A = this chain, B = another copy of it.
Amino acid sequence: MYRTHNCGELRLGHAGEQVTLAGWTAAKRDFGQLTFIDLRDRYGITQLVFDMDTQPELCEQARKIGREWVLQIDGVVRERSNKNPDRPTGDIEIDVRSLRVLNASKVPPFTIEEDTDGGDEIRMKYRYLDIRRAPVKEKIIFRSKVAIETRKHLADEGFIEIETPYLIKSTPEGARDFVVPSRMNAGEFYALPQSPQTFKQILMVAGMDKYFQIVKCFRDEDLRADRQPEFTQIDCEMAFVEQEDILNTFERLTKHLYKSVLGIELPDFPRISYDEAMQKYGSDKPDLRFDMAFTELDSLVKGKGFPVFDNVELVVGINTRGQASQFSNKDIKKLTSWLQRPQIGAKGLVHVKWNEDGTIKSSVGKFYTDEQLKTWLEAMDARPGDMLLILAGEKDATRKQLSELRLEMAGRMELIDPTVIKPLWVVDFPLLEWDEESQRFHAMHHPFTSPTKADMDKMNSTDRAVLSSIKADAYDLVINGAEIGGGSIRIHDRELQMKNFHLLGFTPEEAESQFGFLMGAFEYGAPPHGGIAFGLDRLCAIMQGEKSIRDYIAFPKNNQGRDVMIDAPSSIDEEQLKELHLQLDLPEQ
């Protein structure tokens, strides 16, 4: 028995008890007569006291101990004279009677405190030290709680967790697969799953009815910040359901997670259509913690002699409340430059200020009378002191630009309260997305997504506009402007699936060789079914109001896909390559 208690649990009520503790030396303070050590473990920090007067040898021993040494001590709990109210154990300390060094430590390369002096690269290399820091440790524990509560809740709702295989088949559709050469099947490869999509659909055909799995998925993509080659999904599928059943089920799950892990009761989630989201917020994952919805001004601004507005597809703006006095002409110029950067790509910015003194100032004041501008202000529910920001251009691009501006302004205006939680369902996505470059349709969600019942007939059209207008029976859960997950009702009919593959540019042979097993399964009594997947890493980050997912992952990879702690990937030897029937084909140096 290495310890009777952990370093986070002793309280005043334990005073007088003989205890044994073990942990790491977080800090040491030597005073004339006394030496203090803060002993840390996963559960907290407890102060140890060594007294030179009463135990000189022990105190000498303690003074030789360095940071992060692993200690085991016996001692007696006693009340502290100057208590530390910031620490749950701050009312007590341990009068140490014996001390054993379980392991020494080199001086750690960065400080192991709430805030560290270690840079990203060194923290990743010594990840085992970084995880000792409370902020990282707490995130990993938080993730574990979210996972267990997810499992408990779904099991209570009758879901079965079923493991699907990791060694599957490569399919060129979608992102790039990681592949695994097969030694026993020369020249052949497994692929690591990008998601268990086809297997979970097969499980519905198999009658399993309510499936879930918390599962690793793999994508060999060029890594952007905050993308990992392996990531974790809460993956679900249900049979004999319609969209409404799935939304309700996973709204219950989300509410359960907020309640059980954070103690927060969420109200019912609003549902808005993709079209409405795009029209009002220019985004299919709108942040609803603040309003600033778009107002389309075309009917008010066109035909009044301002050619820029007359010749565009869309004129649309937001009302920034109380900002008229906050933005000088120079500030507006800066904001315009910010919008004109290639990342956003706006052509320009029109503003209308309604000053507190009642005057109206606008960058298009030459083209419109005050009376006309007032109609805009009215349309956007403005009051004296407000400022309208207006963009114009091609519809989709302009909405995206204004969406960026909306988020930027909300940040500057401090409208984003991190304690507010605004979930919503976005529904009725388009089924197909025309890609100019490849001159073909792509699946907006994935090729197994069903059109809505209302749009089923349009699947037979050959008109690109008609096909583009088909709505998918698909949905996303969005919280505070981040997509937590999405899903769809699936196609469960072989003919319809073949038709969809055809629209997506698959030849019948390609469809058969890649997904023949699924379409084969559809011929043996496939039930209506649908599902959803949440990104676990993302969900955890959003629940805690964090921007980065990385510290929710115990051992993340860097932007080159490397694990710098273990130094992977690495070379393998010739013999291993030979067994796998492979040769390296390296680029010229």
Contacts and interface: CB of A to CB of B under 8 A. Distances in A.
Interface of A: 1-3, 22, 24-25, 40-42, 68-70, 72, 102-106, 108, 126-132, 137, 140-141, 144, 147-148, 151-152, 155, 160-170, 172, 176-192, 198-199, 202-203, 205-210, 216, 218, 220, 222, 229-230, 232, 240-242, 245, 492-493, 517, 521-528, 553-555, 557, 560-563, 565-573, 576-587
B555 A199 contact: yes
A203 B553 CA distance: 12
Given A202-B128, A562-B185, A209 B42 contact: yes
Q: Label chain A's interface by main secondary structure.
A: loop
A517 B155 CA distance: 39
Contact of A170 (B162, B186, B572, B585): B572
Number of this chain's copies in the assembly equals 2
Contact of A230 (B161, B166, B210): B166
Contacts of A521: 128
Contact of A587 (B525, B553, B569, B581): B581
Contacts of A151: 148, 151
B220 A108 contact: no
Contact of A179 (B167, B191, B576): B576
Contact of A42 (B140, B207, B232): B207
Contact of A198 (B40, B68, B152, B566): B566
Contacts of A581: 584-587
A132 B209 CA distance: 11
Contact of A68 (B203, B524, B587): B524
A152 B189 CA distance: 37
B186 A1 contact: no
B160 A140 contact: yes
22 contacts: A2-B245, A105-B524, A127-B202, A128-B205, A128-B206, A131-B208, A132-B206, A144-B161, A165-B230, A165-B555, A166-B216, A168-B566, A169-B567, A176-B579, A178-B190, A179-B181, A179-B572, A184-B560, A190-B569, A199-B554, A202-B565, A581-B587
A517 B69 CA distance: 19
Interface centre among A42, A189, A526 (most CB of B within 10 A): A189
Given A103-B492, A105-B525, A230-B166, A148 B152 contact: yes
A523 B209 CA distance: 51
Given A166-B230, A563-B168, A527 B22 contact: yes
A261 to B, nearest CB: 12
A149 to B, nearest CB: 9
A240 B207 CA distance: 46
Contacts of A182: 561, 569
Interface centre among A70, A209, A216, A218 (most CB of B within 10 A): A70
A155 B148 contact: yes
B571 A207 contact: no
A188 B206 CA distance: 40
Given A517-B567, A582-B585, A584-B187, A526 B70 contact: yes
Contact of A583 (B1, B160, B579, B582): B582
Given A130-B206, A184-B222, 8 more contacts: A103-B527, A106-B523, A126-B524, A148-B151, A164-B555, A185-B561, A187-B584, A191-B568
Contact of A557 (B106, B167, B517, B565): B167
Contacts of A68: 524-525
A22 B529 CA distance: 12
A203 B140 CA distance: 11
Contacts of A160: 140-141, 144
A151 B153 CA distance: 13
Contacts of A524: 68, 105-106, 108, 126, 128-129
Contacts of A568: 167-169, 190-191
Contacts of A104: 525
Contact of A563 (B41, B169, B566): B169
A585 B587 contact: no
Among all A-B residue pairs, the 8 with the closest Cβ atoms: A131-B206, A105-B525, A169-B568, A2-B240, A188-B569, A128-B206, A68-B525, A182-B569
Interface centre among A103, A207, A577 (most CB of B within 10 A): A207
Contacts of A573: 172
Given A151-B148, A208-B42, A180 B183 contact: no
Nearest to A517: B566
A3 B579 CA distance: 54
Contacts of A22: 240, 527
B155 A140 contact: no
Nearest to A216: B166
